[in-house]
């Protein structure tokens, strides 16, 4: 196994807590599953599991910070629950590519939408922020979404009651800015 493959195994150990636990509990067996040589297994097993866990946690905290910046209103409304949900989500998805923070935030928003969270309007807020992220990356777009609650007021101190809301995002070409409007009924 070459350097690139060893780096891939290390990346898996840093990002997959179940694999990390299995490896440090039984390096020979898990190392063989991963296609490591005896020498590579010994070298990786010699690394302190505590160090690997600390580094892995620092990567998750960094991801959490990036996602928090991309979903600011959702993070504010959910408070500590945002972190709890993120830790659960982070075990299921590892972002890839050049826009990985944005993709991570979109995937996390999808994850949140699968959870039963109170108050019910949080689902609209998450979908609203996710649609912003999707629209922002499009060179040309027209996105239209209906919401059950006034998304511009969600997360404020105002009393929230159902109000059908239409949000529209559009960009005519790559060079124009992203436009957005809301309408209520």
Q: What is the pLDDT of residue 1?
A: 54
User: What residues contact residue 2 under an 8 Å CB cut-off, 6+ apart?
Assistant: none
Segment 84-98 shows an average pLDDT of 87
Query: Which parts of 26-78 fold into alpha helices (H)?
Result: 27-33, 38-46, 49-70, 72-78
| Residue range 59-85, pLDDT digits in tens | 889 999 999 999 999 999 999 999 999
Q: At what angle do helices 49-70 and 100-113 cross, to 10 degrees?
A: 80
Question: Which of these, 129, 114, 140, 139, lies nearest to 167 by C-alpha position?
Answer: 129
**Band of the pLDDT at 130, cuts 50, 70, 90?**
very high
pLDDT of 169 higher than 90: yes
């Amino acid at each position: 196994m070459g350097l690139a493959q060893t780096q891939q195994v290390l990346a898996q150990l840093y990002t997959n807590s179940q694999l990390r636990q299995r490896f440090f509990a039984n390096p020979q067996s898990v190392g063989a599953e991963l296609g490591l040589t005896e020498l590579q297994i010994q070298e990786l097993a010699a690394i302190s599991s505590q160090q690997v866990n600390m580094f892995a946690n620092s990567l998750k905290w960094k991801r959490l910070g990036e996602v928090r910046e991309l979903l600011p209103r959702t993070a504010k409304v959910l408070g500590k629950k945002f972190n709890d949900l993120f830790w659960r989500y982070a075990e299921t998805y590892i972002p890839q590519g050049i826009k990985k923070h944005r993709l991570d935030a979109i995937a996390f928003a999808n994850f949140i939408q699968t959870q039963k969270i109170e108050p019910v309007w949080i689902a609209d807020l998450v979908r609203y922020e996710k649609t912003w992220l999707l629209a922002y990356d499009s060179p040309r777009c027209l996105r239209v979404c209906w919401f059950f609650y006034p998304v511009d007021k969600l997360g404020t101190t105002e009393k929230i009651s159902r109000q059908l809301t239409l949000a529209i995002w559009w960009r005519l070409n790559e060079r124009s800015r992203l436009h957005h409007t809301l309408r209520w009924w």
